[in-house]
Structure 1
């Protein structure tokens, strides 16, 4: 039996850019094992499976080539762009049921998509030397004033500040160590960033998640949602651009990507939305 899979590039800055994701519509009949096999066959960092929901407009599950994850930003953006392009929804606000909770997604008239993420949670501050060694850099190449910290807006990431783009682009991680440390701290991976940027954006980033079969990812919604929240928390230390935040990612992979993050701050409460543009809608078939 052949299954239709839609593919798009989320957060694309150029036609070559963005992060590819697979989207399977009407996935209710698929078993967990089938979804995992399909994600592995497609080979993208994440594939989204759209189902019926009793508590939201849609239920969406996300699989890497290795296993299921609770939430995926770029695959959410991909999902709602496909639903819009296929005439299954119109611009508006929708609820999606995920393993990270029920979250809203705004589909704009210009076909850009913004997704709600969880209220940010700040966890352990991690030893810089431990992280530096796994990235084959020195502690001196990290930003002194900013901590290495685990932050989540749906998925736990280790946020790693380095001093400039040259340092960041030159990083060649020890992926075995990155996987071990990611597992040790129960995180997806590392989101490494610098406040030096190419185009006057907020940050320039690279993302490593080898524990989940992703050596490097060209655009990550959840990680950048966490990063914007982190920058807002520490903005008295280093320059941070006005909201919305604009994150540059994927340039080291020749996949230029732009991730937009909006923070809604009321007193001690913070809401997070992440989104951007989508390009390159196409279809493929997978044998199941």
Structure 2
């Protein structure tokens, strides 16, 4: 049976910006292998699969071209946008995921995601030396969250100009690499980029899950609970972060750029 398929730019700041995610609306009977095959066919950083559970509750799973992941912010935002576009629910949707229950709310065009906070922990010196040597840029701080390594540079240009060896990055015992530095523009608290070649994503355009870690790190460093992040990929994107206890609320815009059916 054909399934409705959408491609949505999430955390967009204008035309052809943000992170494209595919969203498939399913019956719930499709196998994980089928979902993985569809994600490989779409070849975007994430393809989201969702089906109705009860009332305003939906199951949500995320796949890169190479594997299923535990959390994806931009594809969650894209999925909420699509469901509201289809007239589902009112102003709140709950998703049952591998990371627990996640909530999406909307106010006018802005979508807010309530996601688990990711706590940064400094890495041992020998691991810091290994990662710094791999990147070839002096870092201020190197730590990790639940799945990703976090490298903090002194200047935003170090983030913008970084050209990591993606083959070597695959050897790290982490899902991905987040590099970040203080913002260098008015209204931007931090600049970041995200690389996850081991998961089939050489560089992700705008990464919601990375900002669950960035929000905690920069919130602690700056003494703030609301921050604005700029992901300096080729496409770029803006993520507003709000710390709320053990949760991080990410806010952003989304735009549907393609609507169709998948017939595989």
What's the TM-score, normalizing by structure 1? 0.84
Contact between 1:26 and 1:51, CA under 8 Å: does it hold in 2?
A: yes
Q: How does 1:181-200 map to 2 (within 5 A)?
A: 181=172, 184=173, 187-200=174-187
Alpha-carbon distance in structure 2 between the residues aligned to 1:130 and 1:171: 17
Alpha-carbon distance in structure 1 between the residues aligned to 2:51 and 2:2: 18
3-state secondary structure, aligned to 1:282: strand
- In structure 2, the residue matched to 1:72 is 72
Q: CA deviation at 1:123?
A: 4.0
1:8 aligns with 2:2: no
Deviations 1:237-269, CA, capped at 9 Å, x for gaps: xxx3744211101x441x1200111112xxxx4
Deviations 1:211-234, CA, capped at 9 Å, x for gaps: 10101011111101111111223x
Alpha-carbon distance in structure 2 between the residues aligned to 1:242 and 1:53: 37
Alpha-carbon distance in structure 1 between the residues aligned to 2:256 and 2:84: 14
Alpha-carbon distance in structure 2 between the residues aligned to 1:180 and 1:134: 10
Alpha-carbon distance in structure 1 between the residues aligned to 2:16 and 2:163: 23
Q: CA deviation at 1:197?
A: 2.4
- In structure 2, the residue matched to 1:263 is 243
- In structure 1, the residue matched to 2:228 is 246
Alpha-carbon distance in structure 2 between the residues aligned to 1:49 and 1:213: 18
3-state secondary structure, aligned to 2:203: strand
1:151 aligns with 2:134: no
Could you tell me which runs of 5 or more consecutive residues in structure 1 were left unpaired when the two chains were aligned. none
Q: CA deviation at 1:210?
A: 0.5
Q: How does 1:21-36 map to 2 (within 5 A)?
A: 21-36=21-36
Q: How many residues align?
A: 262
Deviations 1:79-119, CA, capped at 9 Å, x for gaps: 0000011111222x3321000111222122x1321111114
Deviations 1:165-209, CA, capped at 9 Å, x for gaps: 22222211111221111xx2xx32011011032343110111000
Alpha-carbon distance in structure 2 between the residues aligned to 1:8 and 1:29: 24
- In structure 1, the residue matched to 2:115 is 117
1:169 aligns with 2:191: no
Which residue of 202, 211, 215 maps to 2:189?
202
- In structure 1, the residue matched to 2:169 is 178
Contact between 1:27 and 1:49, CA under 8 Å: does it hold in 2?
A: no
3-state secondary structure, aligned to 2:132: helix
Greater Cα offset, 69-78 or 278-287: 278-287
- In structure 2, the residue matched to 1:100 is 99
3-state secondary structure, aligned to 1:121: coil
Could you tell me which runs of 5 or more consecutive residues in structure 2 were left unpaired when the two chains were aligned. none
Contact between 1:202 and 1:241, CA under 8 Å: does it hold in 2?
A: no
3-state secondary structure, aligned to 1:34: helix
Alpha-carbon distance in structure 1 between the residues aligned to 2:175 and 2:262: 27
3-state secondary structure, aligned to 2:171: helix
